[in-house]
Amino acid sequence: MFGASVTSNDAGLSVPDWPTSFGYLVKVPHLVGGVRFEWSHRMVAGSLVILTLAIAAWTFFVERRSWLRKLALAALGTVVAQAILGGMTVLYLQPPAVSTAHAAVAQTFFCIAVCIAIFTGRKWVEEVPQVEHDTRRPSLFTLTLLSIFVLYVQLILGGMFRHRGMSWWPHVVHAALVAFVLTWTAIRALSVFSKIEAVRKPAIMMLSLLITQLCLGFAAFLTRVAWGKDSVQPELPMVVSTVAHVAVGALLLATTVVLAIQVWRHVPVAFAERVPGTERTPQIA
């Protein structure tokens, strides 16, 4: 949200240097105009790097699961890359490709952090998976992966538009595909595997966030494109709708990742060899 507020307020170059701020690492500058957004964003980012480093160190010394230690290192590498891309946006005067990559990597880090939170939670460790094999084609797991993919593409298209590297219409047109794929995924999850709570809850949340996101996207389009295209500076309705749109988009992507994880655990694809005479024709839904 801090990063979105920087872009929405056109404050990305309010602090012209990096990694220092007006020549200082820790001195608080005069928080006026866009400086308060950009400097606050940098402080939050710095705190996040330190927190991620602590999590990676804790995981390395305490966690027995080697794959989870690697995931924590991936989180650390991602947040460092995110910081470097943030610096490049300032030093190279906000090139659209770099600024969009900065936004995309931020979403990637958020999803990795959510995964770590799930995998280290007591419920994940102690819960016995409620396994129900999926015989349908495409499988629910395939649909969740497709949902993540189309959402990430949508994120990139939105970032390119926000950072003036592309027109608005690819982002709007692709939103229809996102809505279709996510609705298909949610309906499949809720109609076939609703008895599995770990699948049902994120599916409902994903569908709710999708509806909210479409409404916020429409509001952002009205305030930024239809009504605000001739504005000299960002107006409050434009800023609020855009920041909310970005924030809910991040939650939607993370929720879809959670759904994919829970489907992978509770609804494995039926690849095992079947006993003769018990074959079922894959169903299309």
Query: For position 203, what pLDDT does the model report?
Result: 97
The reported pLDDT for the residue numbered 276 is 45
pLDDT reported for residue 232: 62
Assigned token pair, 195: 């008895």
- My answer on whether 113 and 137 are in the same domain is no
Let me know whether 143 and 230 are in one domain: yes
- At residue 8, the pLDDT reads 80
Residues 271 and 143 grouped into a single domain: yes
Among 222, 247, 106, smallest CA distance to 168 is for 222
Q: What is the pLDDT of residue 32?
A: 83
Regarding whether 17 and 100 lie in a shared domain, the answer is yes
| pLDDT reported for residue 270 | 60
pLDDT score of 279 = 47
**Which of 79, 100, 127 finishes a domain?**
127
Looking at the fold, whether 98 and 148 belong to one and the same domain comes out as: no
- The tally of domains found in the chain comes to 2
Verify that 26 and 89 share a domain, yes or no: yes
Helices (H) and strands (E) in the chain, counts: 9, 0
How far is Cα 163 from Cα 75, in angstroms, rounded to an integer? 25
Partners of residue 21 on adjacent β-strands: 24
The span from the CA of 30 to the CA of 124, in Å, is 46
158 and 71, same structural domain? Answer: no
Last residue of a domain, one of 127, 155, 188: 127
- If asked whether residues 121 and 13 sit together in one domain, one would say yes
Q: Which domain holds residue 94?
A: 1-127
- Residue 163 is predicted with a pLDDT of 85
Q: Environment class of residue 246 by beta-carbon count within 10 Å: exposed (0-12), middle (13-18) or buried (19+)?
A: buried
Task: Tell me which residues of the chain have a pLDDT lower than 70.
Answer: 228-232, 270-285
